[in-house]
Amino acid sequence: MSIAENIAKIRAQMNEAAIAAGREPKEILLCAATKMNDADAVRAAIAGGVDVCGENRVQELTQKLSQHAYDGAPVHFIGHLQTNKVKQVVGKVDLIQSVDSLRLLEAIQKEAQRQNIRQDILLEVNIGQEESKSGFHAEEILPLVKEFSKYPNICLRGLMAIPPISQNSGDNRKFFEKMCSLTVDITTKNVDNICVDILSMGMSDDFADAIACGSTMVRIGTAIFGQRHYA
């Protein structure tokens, strides 16, 4: 199947999951996880109707930006970002989804201030409390959000999570539900610099469950582009 056909199929499945959950299909955005796919594949995904492109690696982002691969769609950063590379990402992407430490948050604030811009971000939550993963623990989120006025050049738009790899379909629902209630908690707080309207969760294998639990953005790689070939 072509990239466009894959996207049409995913859209149909997204719509079905939304309607089954009593939600409006248009509330949920489709982000193409474009890592290891070249500029032409990215262009095909945009032509096929994805809402957003999400890039994982700074080097790929920089290269595809220079190739104008993302023209016609917003681009998000969704991978682990080292603090020494924030200059190559801040101001270059519409949203940094993967802010996974205080150190990174501070580095982004500093760089956004230097550029005199306001950078939109999501906080990444290590919702499965996995040692191998970065991200904030769920209980760190509320206290951090309450202090968000410390980051005047950052706008917090919501939360992102990559739950543990699951054995059985449905296994991750408990994590998705936890993410949703955490989002509700921070939405009801009246704090400067926050405008929470995004909950980014759900990938190729579990996006329907994520939508059932309140996701507003699914990030899909394999189901759009096929298997990635790691060298």
Ligand X SMILES: *Cc1c(COP(=O)(O)O)cnc(C)c1O
Binding residues for ligand X, per CB under 6 A?
A: 33, 35, 56, 78-79, 162, 203-204, 219-223
**DSSP-derived 3-state class of residue 96:** strand
Q: Which is nearer to ligand X, 81 or 148 (CB)?
A: 81
CA atoms within 13 A on the CB side of 132: 4
Nearer residue to ligand X within complex by CB, 112 or 217: 217
User: Least distance in Å: CB of 10 to ligand X?
Assistant: 10
Q: Which is nearer to ligand X, 33 or 196 (CB)?
A: 33
Helices (H), 58-212: 58-66, 102-115, 138-146, 173-187, 207-212
Shortest Cβ 103–ligand X spacing (Å):
19
Q: Which is nearer to ligand X, 86 or 148 (CB)?
A: 86
Compute CA 164 distance to the chain's CA centroid, rounded to the nearest angstrom.
16
- The candidate with the shortest Cα–Cα distance to 25, out of 14, 36, 9, is 14
Question: What are the C-alpha distances in Å from 54 to residues 14, 95, 190, 215?
Answer: 18, 9, 29, 16
Residue nearest to ligand X (CB): 221
CB 81 to ligand X: min, Å: 11
Cα separation, 94 vs 96, whole angstroms: 7
User: Cβ 158 to ligand X, closest distance in Å?
Assistant: 15
- Closest CB to ligand X among 58 and 153? 58
Shortest distance in whole angstroms from residue 203 CB to ligand X: 4
